[in-house]
Amino acid sequence: MAEHHGNGNGSLKTYDDHVPEIKFTKLFINGEFVDSVKGRTFETIDPRNGEVTARVAEGDEEDVDLAVKAARQAFDHGPWPRMPGYQRGRIMLKFADLIDENMDELAALDTIDAGKLFSVGKAQDIPTATKLLRYYAGAADKIHGEVLKMSSELHGYMLREPVGVVGHIIPWNFPTGMFFMKVAPALAAGCTMVMKPAEQTPLSALFSAHLAKKAGVPNGVINVVTGFGPTAGAAISSHMDIDMVSFTGSTEVGRMVMQAAATSNLKQVLLELGGKSPLIVFDDADIDTATDLALACIVYNKGEVCVAGSRVYVQEAIYEVFEKKLVAKAKAWSVGDPFDPNVRQGPQVDKKQFEKILSYIEHGKREGAMLLTGGAPLGTKGYYIQPTIFTNVKEDNVIVKDEIFGPVMSLMKFKTVEEVIKRANDTRYGLAAGILTKNIDLANTVSRSIRAGIIWINCYFAFDNDCPYGGYKMSGFGRDFGLDALHKYLHVKSVVTPVYNSPWL
Ligand code: NAD
C-alpha cells in the first residue's frame, strides 16, 4: 500500500485501484511474446512502496541474437524498408491512434514502473509520444535524395536509404517517451530494430510492441528484449549484425557502448548522455516566473531528467528575494503517490537511485554547502525525497559537478555576464541551458556563448517535435527529435552515370 506523503494535507488515501493489470511480461521477438531462452525472469518494482509489480522475462545474449535475426530478416527480405513511405506512414498513424486509445493504461504502467505522475503521463508523456509518431509518419514519404551538380560529363544523384537493423538502448526516466523518440524516426526511415528498455521500466515498451503489431507493423520490425545492461545491452552494442546503436543513458555506459561498437563491427553510434545544466536568472527577470521555473528545473519528473536545470545562477541584485520565494515554494511542494491528482512529485525510480541521491545530499552537507530546504526522504515506504536546495556551494563541489539525477539544486549568486558565462560553461557536460531576462541582446549573447545542445530563453523543458536536442561535450553526440534525428537513421548513397558524349563512354 502506498502512503501519501503530501506536504501538509496529511491524507492517507492510497491509489491501488489505479494499478493496471499487467498483460505483457515476455520478450517480443518476430511479432510473438516468448520466454527467454534460459527461461529466466526478473522483478520489476513499484517505487511507491518497494513491492514487486511483476516478473518479466530476462533476455541476454542468446535472446538478443534471436531478435537480431528477426530484425535482419525483416530488413533484408521483409516489406517494411521496401514499401512506399506513404504506406509506412499510414501504419505509423494507426499505431499513434492505438496509443491514444490506450493512453490511461500506458500512463499507469509508467507510473508503477518509474513513479511518474499519472496526470503528467496522460497530459504530456503519452501525447508527446503520439505527436512524435505522427510527425515522423508525415516525414516517411518525404525522404528523398538530391540531383548532384557534377563537374564533368556525369549525371549524379544521391539516395537516402535506411541504415538497416538498429539497436536502441534506453533509460528509465521517460519509458514511453524514450521508446517513441527512438522507434518513431527509425520506423519512418524504414529501419528494423531491437529495443532494450531499462530494467527498471520494461512494461510500457512491451505494451507498445503489442500495439505496433495490432497497427500492422510487420513481424520482426520492432523487437523488444527486456533484461539488464551488462548482458542484453552489451549484446546489442557488440552485435556484428546490428548496423547502428542509438543509446540514451549515462556518460559512463555511453562510453562502453561506443567502445563495444568500435571493437565489433564499427556500427554507427548515437549517444544521448548525462547533463548538469545551468539556469541563469538575470536581475531584470520576473521573480515569480523565475522561481516557478527554477523549482520546476529540479522537481519536474522528480529531477530524473537529463536536462534538469540543477545549477541555478541568480544575479546578485535579486538574489535574496529570489532565494526566499524559491525556498517557500519548495517547502509547499507536494510529494506523494503519483496517482494522486493533487501531488506534484512522485517517488524516485528505485532504491538504488533513492540511495544515490541521499548520499549526494550527505556529501553536500559534508562539503560545507548550506541546506536551505529539504535534504531528507519522506515517509516510511517507497522512494520519496523532499525537494532539496543547497546554497554556499563552490564550482568544484561534487554536488555542483556531478549529475545527481534527483530533486537537488545548487543555488548560486553571480555579478557579471562574463562571470556567469564562464561558470555556466565550467562543466564536462553540455546538454541544455536556460536564460531568464527581458533583454533580448543579453539573451542572444549568452545563448551563443553557452556550449550546450539546446538553449531555452524565458522557458525551460520546451521540447518540440521539430526541435532537435542532444549534447555537446560529454553529453554525447547526435540529436533526437526533428528531421535531424530522422537523418541519423538514413545512409547517403551516391549514384553516378556518364551522360551522352561523355569521355567515359
Ligand atoms: P544507464 O546508462 O545506467 O542505463 C541506460 C541503459 O543502458 C539501460 O537500458 C541499461 O540497462 C543499459 N546499460 C547498462 N549497462 C550497459 C552496458 N554495459 N552495455 C549496454 N547497455 C547498458 O543510465 P540510467 O541510469 O538508466 O539513466 C540515467 C542516465 O541517463 C543519466 O545519466 C541521464 O542523464 C541519462 N539520460 C540522458 C538523456 C539524454 O537525452 N541525453 C535522457 C535521459 C537520460
Kindly list the domain boundaries of the chain, sorted by start residue: 14-273+474-492, 278-457
Mean pLDDT of 215-231: 98
Closest ligand 1 atom number to CA of residue 480: 40
| Ligand 1 center from residue 320 Cα (angstroms) | 37
Predicted local confidence at residue 13, as pLDDT: 56
Predicted local confidence at residue 49, as pLDDT: 95
| Annotation marks residue 306 as catalytic | yes
Sign of the CA dihedral with 343 first, then 381, 276, and 245 last: negative
* pTM for the structure as a whole: 0.96
Mean pLDDT of 118-135: 98
From 474, 284, 484, 299, select the one nearest 386 (Cα to Cα).
Answer: 299
Mean pLDDT of 313-333: 98
Encoded amino acid at 35, one letter:
D
Residue 322 has pLDDT above 90, yes or no: yes
User: Considering the chain, what is the average pLDDT of its residues?
Assistant: 96
From 152, 154, 149, 157, select the one nearest 498 (Cα to Cα).
Answer: 154
From 501, 499, 482, select the one nearest 138 (Cα to Cα).
Answer: 482
The two most distant CA atoms of the chain are separated, in Å, by: 87
C-alpha cell recorded at residue 434: 536556460
Q: 159 Cβ partners below 8 Å, 6+ apart?
A: 145, 492, 493, 494, 495
Report, at the CATH architecture level, how domain 278-457 is classified: 3-Layer(aba) Sandwich (3.40)
Q: Name the band, by pLDDT with cuts 50, 70 and 90, for residue 16.
A: confident
User: Which one of 178, 248, 267 would you pick to mutate in the ligand 1 pocket, going by the greatest count of ligand atoms within 8 A of its CB?
Assistant: 248
Backbone phi, psi, residue 450, to 5°:
-90, 130
Alpha-carbon gap, residue 326 to 343, rounded angstroms: 18
Give the model confidence (pLDDT) of 358-391 as tens digits: 999 999 999 999 999 999 999 999 999 999 999 9
Report, at the CATH architecture level, how domain 14-273+474-492 is classified: 3-Layer(aba) Sandwich (3.40)
Residue 6 has pLDDT above 60, yes or no: no
| Annotation marks residue 32 as catalytic | no
Q: Using CA positions, which residue lies closest to atom 18 of ligand 1?
A: 230
Residue 12 has pLDDT above 80, yes or no: no
Residue 214 CB neighbour total at 10 angstroms: 12
**Burial class of residue 21 (count of CB atoms within 10 Å of its CB; 0-12, 13-18, 19+):** exposed
Predicted local confidence at residue 5, as pLDDT: 43
Q: Using CA positions, which residue lies closest to atom 13 of ligand 1?
A: 229
pLDDT > 90 fraction of the chain, expressed in percent and rounded:
95
Decide if 440 contacts 346 (C-beta within 8 A). Answer: no
Q: Check 199, 272, 304, 403 and give the catalytic one.
A: 272
| Ligand 1 center from residue 441 Cα (angstroms) | 37
